[in-house]
Amino acid sequence: MDIDARGPRFGATVTTVVLAVVLITGNVWLLAWQTLAFALGAAGGPGRSPYGWVFRTAVRPWIGPPTEFEAPQPPRFAQAVGLAFACVGLTGFALGPHWLGIAATGAALAAAFLNAAFGYCLGCEMYLLVRRVAVRAE
């Protein structure tokens, strides 16, 4: 079942803000929260993440029914990619080296910002590329 395309973009906007605050403050607990949000989105799909829940319950009723839909698999894969970067960032901030935390969090921030600002989901594009390569290999 396809999902409202505005939901993942809303989640990317919140993620952008959260990761920017992490980079500004170095708050490991906030990065841990974002890591959990990515984990829930990767495990259950973007609608199961905390930001998906906020979108569904608080934002969507105000903006009306969706006009554009997308498959849930690419955003779910993007959440898994975000989870990987957040885990590396969390490790860097908590255990060192500190630059690793900054670099991994910055990479996740860049990807979230691309989706939030321009609707370009880097993780989704990675998913589609992997699928095309897998289909050609068959």
3-state secondary structure of 69: strand
Tell me the pLDDT of the chain (138 aa) as tens digits.
Answer: 899 999 999 999 999 999 999 999 999 999 999 999 999 999 999 889 999 999 999 999 999 999 999 999 999 999 999 999 999 999 999 999 999 999 999 999 999 999 999 999 999 999 999 999 998 888
DSSP states along 89-119: HHHHHHHS-HHHHHHHHHHHHHHHHHHHHH-
Domain residue spans in the chain? 3-137
Give the largest CA-CA distance in the chain. Answer: 48
Partners of residue 70 on adjacent β-strands:
3
Token pair of 19, please? Answer: 């990761």
**How far is Cα 19 from Cα 86, in angstroms, rounded to an integer?**
9
